Amino acid sequence: MQLEPLEAFAWRVPIGTVPGMRVPGVVFATDELARAIEGDNAIEQVANVATLPGIVEASYAMPDIHWGYGFPIGGVAATDPERGGVISPGGVGFDIACGVRLLRSELTLEEIDDLRGLVATLGAQVPRGVGEGGRVRLSRSETEKVLAEGVRYPLSQGIGWPEDEEFCEDFGVLQEALPGEVSDRAIDRGMPQLGSLGAGNHFLEVQVVDEVIDEHAANVMGLFRGQVCVMLHSGSRGLGHQVCTDFLKLVDAAMREEGIEVPDRQLACVPLGHEVAHRYLGAMHAAANFARANRHVLAHAVREAFESALGRSAREMGLHLVYDVAHNLAKMEEHEVGGERRRLCVHRKGATRAFGPGSEEIPGLYREIGQPVIIPGSMGTASFVLVGTDEPTAFASTCHGAGRAMSRTQAKKRMSGSELVKQLEGEGIVMAASKPRLLAEEAPYAYKDVSQVVDACEGAGLSRKVARLRPVGVVKG
């Protein structure tokens, strides 16, 4: 399947590419990324999403797009409940509200005498890997409180700093959550897992601000060149996975009753007015609250690790939260479509919300610059901090990361995990990986060039670069 040039940094997947498309697909990419995308099944997935009932404007795809399941990874689709619009759990994914949190500090790298010791302490303090429980073991009723209150629950238990709530997307909690719609099985899975990193492509990195591109925005966020930061990537763990599994089944059944057909069963969907849609939205938001709380507790572990390793208080070291974003979520949002304000269900699957300056949905401090967007690069390569622009393209969405460029099998063939560790250590990056053998699956060469991805986002008006960060320490499950 081929992409047709639309405008600078934008390509069209025309109606008719697959049967039943209601809108075109629009893929944001540089020329080089576009050529690579054409070799992947992702274009077919962009076209499939365009068949969803009530989809508005286009089936969008970010420059880091790659083959997913149902939705492409990097897909954005908004549906209108007033026009038969649907909600699709596949448009959120199994790792509900997986996302990224960035902490800054007042430290420069030179002030850290023993970086290897700091990374080792982080590795010891942050639960990671398969089968590892979290920092906090919750009872059933405590888990339900997390589902309802998000970061407010751990805050009420003395975990984290009060200001962390404001600097988290959705101010740390989605109020429309319905904890009662989260199954016992999902709660069973979540109870022992709060404050755990997970495995796969989840990670924690100690990073240094390498380059400041927008001085003013960086200043507002408290970022400066040479500054030590910590970025962590994790999600809703087994609880979120179970919520998606549970509702995929229910939505699949309800979809058949409604007589809706989709080209890929993972696109199972149900009209937003349907009872199952209401229940899924509530459960998904509850799982999102768990994900936010998870990253909140992990950040607390980071602060404690810094205190332990460096012998100073986290407050003194200025380990403040810059922002926390989700990149697997669906929310009801107001957007302008054809000159009219409409309330839409915006699915972002491997894509990040990027509200522009003036939005009341973002902290007051950031309203003059726009919403921060945290973009992790692949392991060992640069990460970026961006801001949303005042162009509401693709329902104010942008990329989420570098996006995979090859399969895990292909990645493992190129290099062994231990060779990769050696290579990254040789580049000055301290590595703490629980499973070196699987590391090659997450190697930088398995991903697209994140610089190209963020350039394409900037070129398309989706977001603007503020700072580039490079890793100096990596902790992985």
Partner 1 sequence: MSRSYELLEHTADVGILARGETCEEAFEAAAEGLAEILGAWFPGEGEERELRIEAADVDALLAAWLDELLYLAEAADAVFGDFHVDRVGQRELSGRARLAPRAGRELDGQHVKAATYHRLRVAEGEGGCEARVYLDV
CB 286 within 8 A of CB 177: yes
Size of the site for partner 1 (CB under 8 A): 47
- The pair of structure tokens assigned to 380 is 């060992």
Q: Is 418 in the site for partner 1 (CB under 8 A)?
A: no
Which contacts qualify for 207-211: CB closer than 8 Å, 24 or more apart? 207/231, 207/383, 207/469, 207/470, 207/471, 207/472, 208/108, 208/109, 208/469, 208/470, 208/472, 209/467, 209/468, 209/469, 210/382, 210/467, 210/468, 210/469, 210/470, 211/467, 211/468
Contacts of 314 (CB under 8 A, 6+ apart): 303, 304, 306, 307
Residue in this structure with the two tokens 């909690």, named with its chain if needed: 173
Considering only 14-22, 28-36, 149-157, 263-271, which stretch makes contact with partner 1 by CB under 8 A? 263-271
Min CB(241)–partner 1 separation in Å = 4
Which amino acid, residue 165? E
Q: How far is the CA of 289 from the CAs of 175, 208, 322, 351, 395, in angstroms?
A: 9, 29, 19, 18, 22
Q: Which of residues 55-94 bind partner 1 (CB under 8 A)?
A: 66-70, 73, 90, 93-94
Helices (H) and strands (E) in the chain, counts: 14, 19
Give the contact letters, 176-215, x = binds to partner 1 (CB under 8 A), - = no. ---------x--xx--------xxx---------------
Q: HSE on the CB side for 100, CA within 13 Å?
A: 27
Q: Is 166 in the site for partner 1 (CB under 8 A)?
A: no
Annotated catalytic residue: which of 202, 320, 347, 400?
400
| Of 316, 376, 353, 303, the residue nearest 463 (C-alpha) | 353
Min CB(351)–partner 1 separation in Å = 15
Q: Which of 7, 162, 409, 426 binds partner 1 (CB under 8 A)?
A: 409
Q: Is 245 in the site for partner 1 (CB under 8 A)?
A: yes
Contacts of 86 (CB under 8 A, 6+ apart): 52, 53, 54, 79, 260, 269, 270, 271, 272, 277, 345
Q: Which is nearer to partner 1, 5 or 133 (CB)?
A: 133
Give the contact letters, 348-387, x = binds to partner 1 (CB under 8 A), - = no. ----------------------------------------
Q: Which of 122, 148, 268, 469 binds partner 1 (CB under 8 A)?
A: 268
Q: Is 406 in the site for partner 1 (CB under 8 A)?
A: yes
Q: Is 241 in the site for partner 1 (CB under 8 A)?
A: yes
Q: Which of 249, 315, 413, 414 binds partner 1 (CB under 8 A)?
A: 249
Considering only 287-295, 360-368, 376-384, 436-444, which stretch makes contact with partner 1 by CB under 8 A? 436-444
Three-state DSSP at 359 gives coil
Q: Which is nearer to partner 1, 95 or 170 (CB)?
A: 95
Q: Is 145 in the site for partner 1 (CB under 8 A)?
A: no
Q: Which of 156, 163, 226, 253 binds partner 1 (CB under 8 A)?
A: 253
Taking 3-state DSSP, the helix, strand and coil percentages for the chain, each rounded to the nearest 5, stand at 40, 25, 35
Q: Is 335 in the site for partner 1 (CB under 8 A)?
A: no
Contacts of 64 (CB under 8 A, 6+ apart): 73, 74, 350, 399, 400, 401, 402, 403, 448, 450, 453
Q: Is 22 in the site for partner 1 (CB under 8 A)?
A: no
Contacts of 347 (CB under 8 A, 6+ apart): 71, 75, 76, 77, 78, 79, 87, 88, 91, 92, 329, 330
Considering only 141-149, 398-406, 454-462, 465-473, which stretch makes contact with partner 1 by CB under 8 A? 398-406
Min CB(66)–partner 1 separation in Å = 5
Q: Which of residues 31-50 bind partner 1 (CB under 8 A)?
A: 40-42
Min CB(407)–partner 1 separation in Å = 5
- Known catalytic membership, residue 400: yes
Considering only 29-37, 146-154, 260-268, 372-380, which stretch makes contact with partner 1 by CB under 8 A? 260-268
> Cα 454 from chain centroid?
15
Residue in this structure with the two tokens 């009932």, named with its chain if needed: 53
Q: Which of 2, 175, 219, 407 binds partner 1 (CB under 8 A)?
A: 407
Question: Given the rule CB under 8 A, which residues bind partner 1?
Answer: 40-42, 66-70, 73, 90, 93-95, 130-131, 185, 188-189, 198-200, 238, 241-242, 244-245, 248-249, 252-253, 256, 264-266, 268, 404-410, 435, 437-438, 441, 477
Catalytically active residues are 400
